[in-house]
Copies of this chain bind each other. A is one copy, B any other.
Amino acid sequence: MSDKLDTEELSAYFALVVAGDLVQHALSSQLAEHGLTPVKFSILASLSDAPDGVRMRELASALVHSRSGLTYQVAQLERQGLVSRSAADDDDRGVVARITADGTTLLQAAFPGHLELVRAKFLDLLPRGGAEKLRRLLEPVVDGLRADKAT
């Protein structure tokens, strides 16, 4: 498998995909202890930053790859009492999801252990200043590919 891309560039691509996968997998057991998955955790975390709730459309484009996938996840969170859905004020087609008090409680219970593992399995493995460098490098990738999705 040697070809037009030099090894450095291909290696970066493999490293990105593999590292993301390994980090997420390393964190998933701890989340599972609280009945959460990485996707559900990211939904709750996003909602906890938005007291007024978030439109389903926005959550979908930010966190998953299909609208139906988000409906599935949020429906489960709602059944568990962690999230509520209600009609949007300005657009009668719209639905706004909000985190509930129970959802906040669960998130607060899961968060310290999560942070601990983010440190142990990721941040502590980076050189000093590495987190910031990494974020800066990946920012345009995330922005570029999210823009793609909108199209």
Contact = CB atoms under 8 A, between A and B. Distances in A.
Interface stretch (A12-20, A71-79, A83-91): A12-20
Contacts of A118: 5, 9-10, 13
Interface of A: 1, 3-5, 8-13, 15-26, 38, 45, 48-49, 65, 107, 111-112, 115, 118-119, 121-123, 125-127, 130-135, 137-142, 144-146, 148-149
A86 B17 CA distance: 30
Contacts of A141: 19, 22-23, 122, 125-126
Contact of A13 (B49, B122, B137, B142): B122
Q: 10 smallest A-B Cβ distances: which pairs?
A: A20-B20, A12-B131, A22-B145, A15-B138, A12-B135, A19-B138, A125-B144, A9-B131, A12-B134, A125-B141
A126 B38 CA distance: 26
A118 B19 CA distance: 17
A36 B24 CA distance: 23
Given A9-B123, A123-B9, A137 B130 contact: yes
